[in-house]
Amino acid sequence: MALALASALALALALALALALALALALALALALALALALALALALALALVSGTALVSALVSALVSALVSALVSALVSALVSALVSALVSALVSALVSALVSALVSALVSVSVLVLALALVSALVSALVSGTVLVGILADGSYRNHHCHVHDHDHENLRHDHYRCRFRFRCRCRCRCRCRCRCRFHRNCRRYYRCCLPFAESFASTA
């Protein structure tokens, strides 16, 4: 934001210097024209004095003076108006650019902050959920409410296992073909982590 404002102010300063140079050139031109008209007036006065006609001299003098005054006034007014308009336009453009840059930066900062807060909230929620899950799994009373023993025959082998009713998926690496979710097989001694404490207690009592 500061860099954009500084560049805009530098551009406005350069434009102001260019307009000031143009104004100086116009003033020099106006002075040259005024000098030329003054010379013409002096020549007219000299001719009037030579001819002895005072009325012609007065008319020529008034006409030349009016023309010089009108020309200088018009040039100065036009240059001042152009300079003021250019300066105001440059300053307004610089201010608008700086404000837009500041607003965009603020919006980006707020968006990043909101995303960071959402990420932190999600991480905290995940940690809390994991802690609660570990507490539930470590509790021996979980077996009485969510797991029960099933016995069935599969390929002439008796599999005693636990079936877990908790809402998450486990990946059993046991090579047996029993399709129950949470199970403990006597033949391969593998079991799901969700039923780990109950499988151990079952193996110790079996």
Does 65 reside within a domain? yes
Q: Does residue 99 sit in the same domain as residue 153? A: no
Does 191 reside within a domain? yes
Q: Does residue 76 sit in the same domain as residue 174? A: no
Q: Does residue 7 sit in the same domain as residue 101? A: yes
As for how many domains the chain has, the answer is: 2
pLDDT at residue number 63: 77
Does 196 reside within a domain? yes
From 78, 101, 117, the end of a domain falls on: 117
Does 129 reside within a domain? no
Work out the burial of residue 5: count CB atoms within 10 Å of its CB; fewer than 13 is exposed, 13-18 middle, 19 or more buried.
Answer: middle
Residue ranges of the chain whose pLDDT lies below 50:
136, 138-206
For the whole model, what pTM was predicted?
0.35
Q: Does residue 150 sit in the same domain as residue 109? A: no
From 82, 117, 152, the end of a domain falls on: 117
Q: Does residue 169 sit in the same domain as residue 110? A: no
Does 135 reside within a domain? no
pLDDT at residue number 158: 38
The neighbouring-strand residues paired with 191 are: 184
Q: Does residue 146 sit in the same domain as residue 111? A: no
Q: Does residue 108 sit in the same domain as residue 44? A: yes
pLDDT at residue number 117: 92
Residue-range definition of the domain harbouring residue 193: 142-205
| Angstrom distance (rounded) from CA 69 to CA 63 | 10
pLDDT at residue number 44: 73
pLDDT at residue number 148: 40
Does 127 reside within a domain? no
pLDDT at residue number 183: 44
Q: Does residue 62 sit in the same domain as residue 12? A: yes
Which among 195, 174, 173, 170 is positioned nearest to 186, based on CA atoms? 174
pLDDT at residue number 130: 61
**Residue 184: which residues within 8 A CB-CB, separation 6 or more?**
160, 161, 162, 190, 191, 192, 195, 199, 202, 203
The alpha helices in 139-205, defined as continuous H runs, are 142-146, 196-205
